[in-house]
Amino acid sequence: MAAEKIQKHVFISGRVQGVGFRAFTRSQAAALNIKGWVKNLADGRVEAKVQGKESNVDQMLAKLKKGPSFARVDNFEAETEKADDFSDFEIRF
């Protein structure tokens, strides 16, 4: 039973494109057994869906609030939503 699986839909703004944010997100997801995806948006934000055990998702959100070393996160929004059926974590274009 996957009752403890949760999903967050995340929007991150600031200096978050061209700084390795998507690759950083994918590597953090792999380390925390997170499923979902991440992509750049045309308006300069990064969008992601992260799914996994609640404690892992919480750790993932904490990492995304900081971002990689060259990033600057100015705004961070995360909304809980019904879990999709992701099999892995991918960078989308």
Judge contact between 72 and 6, C-beta under 8 A.
no
Is residue 79 classed as helix, strand or coil in its secondary structure?
Answer: strand
In this structure, the chain runs to a length of 93
Active site residue 75: no
Among candidate residues 15, 22, 26, 56, the one labeled active-site is: 22
pLDDT of residue 3: 53
What angle in degrees, to the nearest 10, is found between the helix axes of 21-32 and 54-66?
160
- Helical residues (DSSP H) of the chain, grouped into ranges: 21-32, 54-66
The Cα 84–Cα 8 span in angstroms is 10
pLDDT of residue 47: 98
Judge contact between 51 and 29, C-beta under 8 A.
no
The domain made up of 14-91 is a member of CATH 3.40.50.1110: no
User: Tens-digit pLDDT profile for the chain (93 aa)?
Assistant: 445 899 999 999 999 999 999 999 999 999 999 999 999 999 999 999 999 999 999 999 999 999 999 999 999 999 999 999 999 999 999
Among candidate residues 15, 26, 33, 40, the one labeled active-site is: 40
pLDDT of residue 4: 81
Enumerate the domain spans of the chain: 14-91
pLDDT of residue 45: 98
Active site residue 15: no
